[in-house]
Amino acid sequence: MYKNIRDARIYFIIHMLVEIVCFAALAQTYQLSLIQSAVIALLYDVIAFCPQFLFGLLHEKYKKLDLGSIGAAMMLLGLILLDYDKYGIKTMSGVFFIALGNAVIHECGAILTVIGSEGRLYPSALFVGGGSFGVVIGQTIGSMGISKWFLLIPIAAIEILILMTNKGWLYDNERYPVFDIINKRLPVGMIVIVAFLVTMTRSYLGYAIPISWKKELWQSFLLFFTMGIGKAFGGWAADRIGAHKTALITILASIPFLIAGENMMVVSIIGVFLFSMTMSITFGMLLSVMGENPGLAFGVTTMALAFGLLPVFFVKIGRAANIVIVIAGSLICAGLMYVALEKAKSRAAGDSAVKDKEQ
């Protein structure tokens, strides 16, 4: 069904390994002062998310350029520079290159999983889902105070896996499939704005979700693994029943579980799973209007993620306000998706696009 599902599975692993390196490195900056570690975390988020679209543009200009290996080399350089010194200066330079390598490799995964997807969302959703697994594993490894040189192992594995997938996309005559999940009556600019706002809102809501039950390490693993599985399953569901139905059902159904599950792990996990399922749909919306440059489309979503994270660094909101924000933000996202997504499609656009080409 999916022509490049093997590559999507490999990039699931690559994405997981990339986040392991990044968050293992970040976890060890907690030994610095609160302000220093916060500045480093902010630097990481900005560099890892905001410039990704630039690498999408670069790929369209130089189709055969091995961006993935360049990204792995950047991560290696960052690891070499990384030094948990008193003032955090060397650490910031190391984190900068590690984050930049992360941004480059993200773009590679996004572009490759679009090629051969036949207009379906699951391959890209599967790739994105690997990140959640890597975040919690990396944080755990980093908190153990391991030597930074241990991270040479996942970086080497990243490069080997990248080389295994390069033949799937580094050629001059790349052709991207047609995605068609949006309401065509809306202007392109409005679709872009809606996708950006929904992604930005969901990014913040991910931190606003009230979770007081997460006290043990295994609970952290369960939470992040649920997020990763939810992201992948959301793409699969959108391909089967349509992006419109998937978005509305999962967003609205997640609200009571997220709110009522603050102290109840099982209830909360259901809400987190449903909440995570719309991750690939906003990417699909942008692919529907930026189909000739999937790297640019993915870069817009990651920039929105960065904007959604900014309030976390500057504003502290109480529990009651967080609950109101989760409810209001979810309802706003549902309303925007209701308007922006195509209602008539019973599944993501892949089938119709493939049939049109065959005819």
Residue 172 above 90 pLDDT? no
Residue 87 above 70 pLDDT? no
How far is Cα 306 from Cα 44, in angstroms, rounded to an integer? 10
Q: Which of 339, 18, 265 is nearest to 151 (CA)?
A: 18
pLDDT score of 86: 63
Question: Is the separation of the CB atoms in 22 and 44 below 8 Å?
Answer: yes
Residue 84 above 80 pLDDT? no
Share of the chain above pLDDT 70, in %: 94
pLDDT score of 344: 57
Question: Is the separation of the CB atoms in 300 and 195 below 8 Å?
Answer: yes
Residue 33 makes CB contacts below 8 A (sequence gap 6+) with none
3-state secondary structure of 277: coil
Nearest 5°: the CA angle 224, 271, 281 is 80
Residue 349 above 60 pLDDT? no
Is the alpha carbon torsion for 350, 353, 355, 358 positive or negative? negative
**Which residue segments constitute the domains of the chain, with CATH numbers given?**
5-358 (1.20.1250.20)
pLDDT in tens, 4-14: 799 999 999 99
Can you tell me the mean pLDDT for 2-26? 93
How far is Cα 271 from Cα 255, in angstroms, rounded to an integer? 7
Compute the mean pLDDT over every residue in the chain, rounded to the nearest whole number: 91
Chain-centre distance of CA 180, in angstroms?
21
Can you tell me the mean pLDDT for 110-135? 95
pLDDT in tens, 210-266: 888 988 999 999 999 999 999 999 999 999 999 999 999 999 999 999 999 888 999
Single-letter residue type at 109: G
Question: Is the separation of the CB atoms in 162 and 58 below 8 Å?
Answer: no
- Which tokens belong to 177? 């499939």
